[in-house]
């Protein structure tokens, strides 16, 4: 046998991540890609698999240790002739398991990547489960359904809490704190006519549970208003003409960079809209930075790219950065860092159409701005009706944090700022 020192592989930007589970003990025989340890930060659950088949030797890591890429974990006596898997270059997001009671499909073969990140996990319940014996899938599902793992008696090997235990608790068993949700009836559509089953894209498999968790956990209210963008659109066109004429590096200027600047100015005037509810849900965390998420329509589904420090950038810089991020999103090349850290999100359907919609709050954010297509409308100026370009804006917000009057004032301030961008300088 050949001795292999198993270390923490590349886990992206995560550092000092605590070890919450050690799934093996000295002397255990393991197969290649079998999970050995589980790490969990406040943003991701990560599994470290065996690089090859063999027998576990000395384990140097302990539960509770905080580790980073390259930290030694244990020794593995690899079986002679076993192929050592190449270390991954990047942690990848894994979709949450289904939560219905329909028969589960056969488990897939172990994934090739050695670390599976749940950065897109739909958790809104930030509770310390470090002493609970449960795997990443069970933890993700518990957070999605707002279930306290400490109240569940595991039925798995050595008392391990399984996905099945979580589902039972969600239906009212096991002493869980989360409310049970009724299952959608299972229908055999084939008996009514021909069907075709097409797998969801990876993006939709990841984002779907997160959207569902936000919709279930956040009491949504949507407030709509109209902004007069007549002058702003003329200004935007002049910027766009100059951008397209840039011979060195032509780019485009849409309405989004201007809306981002107006949003930040409004968020500074109403800081509650840039805050987050604390894990205990008894206080607000005011974030003194302004990172704006922008929903990007891609062939595989919606992706939110995050533009950092919008308050420190000009419209032209934002336009260039947005163009680059949007291109990366459509090519599926956004890094985890480029999709994390937003304090407020803008979802624009302006290029498609619509009159209004209810965007889902991207928890733990407390508000999101929806934008639809602008339209010409007669507006009374006190003496006569004038043709003005009006932009419908839709603000969805978390009613636990924001009340209706505050939302109405926020939207009026935002609409006034959009109508006269000189207010951004105030």
Catalytic residues: 399
The neighbour count for residue 104, using CB atoms within 10 Å, is 12
Helix or strand (DSSP H, E) at 166: helix 163-170
Do the Cβ atoms of 271 and 281 come closer than 8 Å? no
In the numeric block, which tokens belong to residue 186?
């299972």
Q: Report how far residue 343's alpha carbon sits from residue 271's, in angstroms, rounded to the nearest whole number.
A: 11
Place of tokens 């336009």: 319
In the numeric block, which tokens belong to residue 426?
């105030």
Helix or strand (DSSP H, E) at 392: strand 385-398
Do the Cβ atoms of 8 and 16 come closer than 8 Å? no
56: phi then psi, degrees, rounded to nearest 5: -70, 130
CA atoms within 13 A on the CB side of 413: 20
Bridging pattern class, strands 116-117 and 92-93: parallel
In the numeric block, which tokens belong to residue 392?
């419908």
Do the Cβ atoms of 118 and 111 come closer than 8 Å? no
151: phi then psi, degrees, rounded to nearest 5: -95, 0
Closest CA to 304 of 286, 287, 325, 319: 325
Do the Cβ atoms of 346 and 359 come closer than 8 Å? no
Do the Cβ atoms of 275 and 401 come closer than 8 Å? yes
In the numeric block, which tokens belong to residue 399?
């009613």
Q: Report how far residue 60's alpha carbon sits from residue 389's, in angstroms, rounded to the nearest whole number.
A: 66
- The number of residues in the chain equals 426
CA atoms within 13 A on the CB side of 320: 10
Do the Cβ atoms of 188 and 119 come closer than 8 Å? no
């Amino acid at each position: 046998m050949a001795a292999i020192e198993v270390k923490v592989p590349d886990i992206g930007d995560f550092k000092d991540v605590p070890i919450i589970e050690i799934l093996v003990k000295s002397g255990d025989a393991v197969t290649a890609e079998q999970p050995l340890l589980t790490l969990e930060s406040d943003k991701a659950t990560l599994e470290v698999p065996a690089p090859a088949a063999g027998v576990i030797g000395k384990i140097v890591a302990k539960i509770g240790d905080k580790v980073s890429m390259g930290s030694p974990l244990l020794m593995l006596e690899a079986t002679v002739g076993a192929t050592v898997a190449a270390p991954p270059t990047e942690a990848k997001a894994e979709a949450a398991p289904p939560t219905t009671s329909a028969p589960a499909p056969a488990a897939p073969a172990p994934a090739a990547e050695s670390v599976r990140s749940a950065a897109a996990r739909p958790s809104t319940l930030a509770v310390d489960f470090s002493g609970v014996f449960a795997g990443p899938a069970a933890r993700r599902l518990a957070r999605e359904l707002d279930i306290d793992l400490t109240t569940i008696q595991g039925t798995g090997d050595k008392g391990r809490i399984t996905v099945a235990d979580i589902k039972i608790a969600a239906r009212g068993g096991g002493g869980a704190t989360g409310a049970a949700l009724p299952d959608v009836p299972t229908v055999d559509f084939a008996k009514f006519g021909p069907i075709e089953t097409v797998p969801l894209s990876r993006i939709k498999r990841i984002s779907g549970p997160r959207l569902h968790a936000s919709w279930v956990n956040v009491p949504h209210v949507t407030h709509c208003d109209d902004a007069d963008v007549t002058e702003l659109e003329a200004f935007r066109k002049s910027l766009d003409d100059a951008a397209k004429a840039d011979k060195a590096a032509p780019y485009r200027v849409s309405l989004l960079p201007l809306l981002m600047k107006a949003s930040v100015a409004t968020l500074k005037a109403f800081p509650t809209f840039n805050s987050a509810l604390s894990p205990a849900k008894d206080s607000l965390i005011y974030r003194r930075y302004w990172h704006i998420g922008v929903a990007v329509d891609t062939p595989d589904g919606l992706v939110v790219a995050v533009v950092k420090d919008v308050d420190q950038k000009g419209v032209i810089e934002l336009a260039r950065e947005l163009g680059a991020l949007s291109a990366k999103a459509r090519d599926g090349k956004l890094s985890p860092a480029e999709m994390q850290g937003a304090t407020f999100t803008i979802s624009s359907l302006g290029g498609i159409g619509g009159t209004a919609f209810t965007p889902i709050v991207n928890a733990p954010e407390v508000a999101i701005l929806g934008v639809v297509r602008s339209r010409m409308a007669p507006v009374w100026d006190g003496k006569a009706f004038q043709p003005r370009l009006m932009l419908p804006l839709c603000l969805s917000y978390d009613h636990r944090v924001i009340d209706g009057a505050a939302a109405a004032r926020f939207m009026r301030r935002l609409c006034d700022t959009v109508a006269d961008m000189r207010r951004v300088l105030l």
